[in-house]
């Protein structure tokens, strides 16, 4: 079962142009589906600029056992405890980088993992006869490799001139979404040992760049979970984000948690 092909409320969908931190200062379960169709822009050290439409995301919140900030603040996840609109990049298996967008309010550690992009063209150094454009960035590690995203970019603001930034959906993408020509799937996340049953992964159903398509069973699970398909994205989970905000109100969470 797929999520309805209708677009998110217009007020939650940024127009084309640079996305600002205030738009990202919401619960990750709201931002993650709203980022679908938005554009990740990478300015390479050479000055060349690459763009990729975001077609797959995952949300991670403070109450989520799969979130890197679930237990405590560390040197690696410290940026998650700061304001929205910053990059969080980490390394897995000693070789693959993963790029996240920090979300929610300052002191509420949340992020959206960008899992797949539809690139506008092949990055430099790739072979068109071997590297298929729609699969070059079909996965978090692959997109970081294609866009030369590594640990040097973590804890940097997502803004022009900083090497990475976000732009809103193009009018064409939004028009296709409004017309039902594009639709989103909500399902469970990938590769987790904790929190694996939470339906906090979203992807564009029609995109060939999605890293992995969900089984009918996991889509059925998502349809019946607390994030119901017939509610605006993240509406019920937002109450948990609000609970966390109230719990930490009046204390500096970034300093109270051990390093």
Q: Can you spell out the DSSP letters for 213-248?
A: PPPHHHHHHHHHSSS-TTS-TTTTHHHHHHHHHHHH
Residue 8 has pLDDT above 90, yes or no: no
What's the structural domain count of the chain?
Answer: 1
Please report, for the domain that includes residue 40, its CATH number.
Answer: 3.10.300.10
Task: Kindly state whether residue 5 falls inside one of the protein's structural domains.
Answer: no
For the segment 225-237, the average pLDDT, to the nearest whole number, is 40
- Residue 258 covered by a domain: no
Domain annotation covers residue 256: no
**4 falls within a domain:** no
64 part of a folded domain = yes
Residue 70 in domain? yes
With respect to residue 3, please indicate whether it lies within any of the assigned structural domains: no
Confidence of residue 215 (pLDDT cuts 50, 70, 90): confident
* pLDDT digit string, tens, across residues 87-109: 999 999 889 999 999 999 999 99
pLDDT range class, residue 129, cuts 50, 70, 90: confident
Q: What is the pLDDT of residues 137-171, one digit of tens each?
A: 999 999 999 999 999 999 999 999 999 999 999 99
Range of the domain at 63: 14-248
Mutual orientation of helices 237-248 and 28-35 as an angle, nearest 10°?
130
Share of the chain above pLDDT 70, in %: 78
């Amino acid at each position: 079962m797929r999520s309805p092909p209708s677009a998110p409320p217009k007020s939650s969908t940024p127009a084309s142009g640079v996305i600002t931190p205030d738009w990202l200062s919401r619960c990750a379960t709201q931002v993650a589906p709203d980022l679908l169709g938005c554009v990740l822009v990478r300015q390479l050290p050479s000055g060349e600029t690459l763009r990729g439409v975001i077609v797959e995301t995952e949300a991670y919140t403070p109450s989520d056992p799969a979130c890197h900030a679930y237990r405590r603040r560390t040197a690696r996840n410290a940026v998650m405890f700061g304001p929205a609109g910053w990059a969080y990049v980490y390394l897995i298996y000693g070789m693959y980088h993963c790029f996240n967008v920090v979300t929610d309010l300052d002191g509420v550690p949340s992020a959206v993992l960008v899992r797949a992009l539809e690139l506008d063209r092949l990055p430099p150094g790739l072979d068109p006869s071997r590297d298929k454009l729609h699969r070059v960035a079909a996965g978090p590690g692959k997109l970081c490799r294609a866009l030369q995203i590594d640990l040097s970019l973590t804890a940097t603001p997502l803004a022009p001139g900083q090497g990475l930034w976000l732009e809103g959906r193009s009018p064409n993408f939004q028009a296709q979404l409004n017309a039902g020509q594009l639709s989103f799937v909500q399902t469970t996340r990938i590769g987790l040992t904790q929190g694996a049953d939470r339906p906090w992964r979203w992807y564009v159903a029609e995109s060939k760049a999605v890293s992995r398509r969900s089984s009918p069973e996991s889509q059925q699970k998502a349809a019946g979970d607390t994030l119901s398909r017939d509610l605006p994205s993240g509406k019920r989970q937002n109450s948990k984000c609000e609970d966390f905000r109230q719990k930490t109100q009046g204390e500096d969470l970034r300093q109270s948690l051990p390093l």
